[in-house]
């Protein structure tokens, strides 16, 4: 598929593509851009569809689905990413309207993080993979990162010590706000380990 053909599929000009799949591969591209696994649970929640609707939309024969690659996570559940880095970058460029802005990708990322309202571990792990483990996240501006931290803390059904710790570090190192950092650190230290987390949360200094 050449670059012009790829862009026609991305923007929905291909008659076989659907709005649902277009939003899905935007989300897969943004997750891949931030080096985060995208579990099917997070994907369908962010798409506001049930699992059966997603299976129907992604059934074989749709050319848009060819941009996505399904693979099993460590626990055996399905995750999605784009076919390769070239596809990821092409989709990111379309979402952002070029390479001088990241407004589009942040809108998509916020939607996925805000969809992490479930109590199971996959939602917590998606948030921490973006906010804690992603090198690309560290390139964001103060307000951009702060907004995503707020999305995660508002969405997750339990307080997360790890995210609170990293929001405190963000406030101190990125936003130059040591007072907010100190308040957040105090809250984090009083927060219990996140329920159902596969690995215990560590107490960290900021």
The string of pLDDT tens digits covering residues 102-113 is: 999 999 999 999
pLDDT at 70: 86
The string of pLDDT tens digits covering residues 36-95 is: 999 999 999 999 988 887 877 766 555 556 678 888 887 777 899 998 999 999 999 999
> What band does 187 get if pLDDT is binned at 50, 70 and 90?
very high
Q: What's this model's pTM, rounded to 2 decimal places?
A: 0.85
pLDDT at 171: 97
The string of pLDDT tens digits covering residues 134-159 is: 999 999 999 999 999 999 999 999 99
pLDDT at 51: 83
- pLDDT higher at 171 or 59: 171
Locate the DSSP E strands across 30-159. Answer: 38-39, 68-72, 78-82
Phi-psi region of 144 (alpha: psi -120 to 50; beta: other; left: phi over 0): alpha
Q: Which span out of 7-11, 97-101, 160-164 was modeled with the highest average pLDDT? A: 160-164
pLDDT at 16: 36
Q: What is the C-alpha separation between 4 and 21, in angstroms, rounded?
A: 19
Burial 96-122 (b: 16+ CB within 10 A, else e): beeeeebebbbebbbbbbbbbebeebb
Comparing C-alpha atoms, which of 172, 114, 186 is closest to residue 142?
Answer: 172
Cα–chain center distance at 27: 7
Q: What is the C-alpha separation between 26 and 68, in angstroms, rounded?
A: 10
Mean pLDDT value across residues 116-129: 95
Rg (CA), the chain: 18
Average pLDDT over the chain, rounded to whole?
A: 85
In this structure, are residues 147 and 109 in contact, taking their beta carbons and an 8 Å threshold? no
pLDDT at 200: 54
């Amino acid at each position: 598929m050449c670059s012009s053909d790829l862009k026609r599929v991305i923007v929905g000009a291909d008659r076989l593509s659907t709005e649902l799949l277009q939003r899905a591969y935007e989300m897969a591209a943004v997750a891949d851009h931030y080096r985060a696994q995208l579990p099917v649970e997070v994907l369908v929640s962010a798409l506001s569809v049930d699992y059966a609707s997603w299976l129907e939309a992604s059934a074989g024969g749709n050319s848009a689905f060819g941009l996505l690659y399904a693979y099993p996570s460590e626990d055996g559940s399905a995750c999605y990413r784009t076919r390769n880095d070239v596809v990821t970058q092409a989709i990111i460029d379309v979402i952002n309207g070029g390479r001088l802005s990241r407004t589009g990708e942040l809108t998509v990322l916020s939607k996925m993080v805000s969809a992490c309202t479930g109590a199971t571990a996959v939602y917590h792990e998606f948030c921490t993979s973006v906010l804690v483990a992603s090198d690309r996240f560290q390139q964001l501006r103060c307000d951009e990162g702060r907004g995503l931290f707020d999305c995660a803390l508002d969405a997750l059904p339990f307080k997360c010590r790890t995210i609170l710790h990293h929001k405190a570090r963000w406030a101190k190192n990125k936003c130059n706000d040591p007072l907010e950092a100190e308040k957040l650190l105090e809250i984090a230290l009083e927060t219990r380990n996140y329920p159902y987390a596969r690995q215990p949360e560590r107490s960290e200094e900021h």
